[in-house]
Amino acid sequence: MLVIVAPGQGAQSPGFLTPWLEDRTFASRFDWLSTVSGIDLAHHGTESDAETIRDTQVAQPLLVATGLVAALELFPHPADAFSKIGAVSGHSVGELAAAAGARVITAEQAMVLVRERGRAMAEASARTPTGMTAVLGGDRDEVLAALDKHGLTAANDNGPGQVVAAGTHEQLDALADDPPAKARLTRLSVAGAFHTEHMAPAVGHLAGLARSVSVHDPRTPLISNKDGQVIHDGREVLARIVGQIASPVRWDLCMETMLDLGVTGLLEMPPAGTLSGIAKRAMKGVETFALKTPDQLDDARAFVEKHGEASQIDTTPTWRMVVSPAKGTFHRAEEAADVDRLAPGAPIGDVASLRDRINVVAPHGGQVVEWLVEDGDLVSPGQPLLRLHPEGAA
């Protein structure tokens, strides 16, 4: 099974876009998304220095646009992708690219949202001097305890030995003076404490815009970086994209879900390297491919063919299916067992795992066509549980 992942802010480097823009089709498509965003992204991806593209307002649209246009290079006939991709996921702002790739939102909607996301986060960062520090190594419990001691947030949890602390400069300085045992600290060149309460003002702005965004349910399972759950309701995907601005990224849980799905290959969209590097350390036995330059496209397509496998979700149409958000044991709700119709948002049961118990609802409601699992069955992430016809459907 193949998973496609999109990196977050920090993956960019000066000039990384230069070889991609040599292709006229890529350049034309990229120019369109630059026009939508109102930013000269081609200039920033080729000419701007590291300090300029570190700016949140530049970096975020640049990353999302690159991932979206590169996906069209990888899959010249986009519909073909859905028979190959088992799941998609994005780290931080990369979740916008993943959502557009899964057809939850359009590329144009993604660019407007990421433009406003970057602006709002930059404004929030300017209110209080904040930053982020990578904490590498050390005992996990001791690292988290040290962060809590100094009032810091584990803004990114990227797996064993890789936690990113975020907070005020004073809090980060205190951590540097009193680091966890056997841990190495690296101050990150970012504009603020992303994925923490310091970004709350940006959440409100994006939430207001999101109310006017039309969505579709994902055409392929989308693994949320909030908690590693597979999300199959387009409205919830959008709500999570808004909320994650001020909440931690749990990439460790995303990788757990990928392993639960049986992923054998992970392909990272450009500018690639960060997530595939993490996967090499944390996902033993999973082959990785970091797509960095266009001369790798033929090899990337061969990688897709090697690992490609359609998801379990019936995509004609996807909104008639309720799927499992995680691996565990499915328990059917008594009130859903013997009914012919379910109201929108009605509970159908829960999935119990070693980590937690997740309630499952029928987001759209409708007529019950068939149950695809029994009470007490073991289920995997994204596995169809219930097939529904929407109210009024023939």
Q: Is 327 among the domain residues? A: yes
Q: Is 312 among the domain residues? A: no
Residue 349 sits in the same domain as residue 375: yes
Q: How far apart are CA 109 and CA 213, in angstroms?
A: 7
Residue 201 sits in the same domain as residue 181: no
Number of alpha helices (DSSP H) and beta strands (DSSP E) in the chain:
14, 19
Q: How far apart are CA 339 and CA 240, in angstroms?
A: 30
Q: Is 313 among the domain residues? A: no
Residue 60 sits in the same domain as residue 202: yes
Residue 114 sits in the same domain as residue 231: yes
Sheet with 2-6, strands from edge to edge, namely 230-231, 222-223, 87-90, 2-6, 265-268, 287-290
Q: Is 104 among the domain residues? A: yes
From 160, 187, 214, give the residue that closes a domain. 187
Residue 314: per-residue pLDDT:
60
Q: Which residues pair with 389 in a beta bridge?
A: 367
What average pLDDT is seen over the chain? Answer: 93
Q: Among all residues, which ones are annotated catalytic?
A: 92, 195
248-271 pLDDT tens trace: 999 999 999 999 999 999 999 999
Q: Is 394 among the domain residues? A: no
Specify the amino acid at residue 178: D
Question: Which CATH number fits the domain that encloses residue 174?
Answer: 3.30.70.250
pTM: 0.92
Residue numbers of the domain that contains 67 = 2-124+197-307
- Element housing 304 (H / E): helix 297-307
102-149 pLDDT tens trace: 999 999 999 999 999 999 999 999 999 999 999 999 999 999 999 999
292-317 pLDDT tens trace: 999 999 999 999 999 998 777 765 55
Residue 249 sits in the same domain as residue 262: yes
